[in-house]
């Protein structure tokens, strides 16, 4: 079955890759990068707990510095100042 991908540019918008919460205008601090996912301050403790439980601490690639908000960290450090985007891939015939 062929796949279909659609990419949407989200610009400066910051969304948690785990829960989908919008942090674009939030000053909330904390969060982690789990593999390639930006995990918000609310989801990070549970994600870290599970990473310890399943011996996946090596999957935590970085942590939000204390002096930055989650949104600022995602924009500046994880995206390197580039606009964000979301790519959705699905089966072509669905």
Kindly list the domain boundaries of the chain, sorted by start residue. 3-91
Q: Tell me the pLDDT of the chain averaged across its residues.
A: 93
For the chain, the helix, strand and coil percentages under 3-state DSSP, each to the nearest 5: 25, 35, 45
Residue 88 has pLDDT above 90, yes or no: no
For a pLDDT cut of 90, what percent of the chain falls above it?
77
Residue 94 has pLDDT above 70, yes or no: no
Nearby residues of 55 by Cβ (< 8 Å), 6 or more positions away: none
Residue 43: band (very low, low, confident or very high) from pLDDT cuts 50, 70, 90: very high
Which residue matches tokens 């989200």?
10
């Amino acid at each position: 079955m062929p796949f279909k991908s659609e990419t949407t540019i989200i610009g400066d918008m910051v969304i948690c890759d785990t829960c989908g919460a919008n942090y674009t205008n939030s000053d909330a601090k904390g969060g982690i990068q789990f593999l390639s996912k930006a995990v918000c301050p609310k989801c990070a403790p549970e994600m870290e707990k599970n990473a310890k439980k399943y011996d996946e601490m090596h999957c935590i690639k970085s942590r939000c510095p204390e002096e930055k908000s989650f949104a600022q960290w995602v924009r500046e450090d994880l995206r390197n100042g580039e606009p964000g985007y979301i790519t959705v891939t699905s089966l072509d015939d669905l």
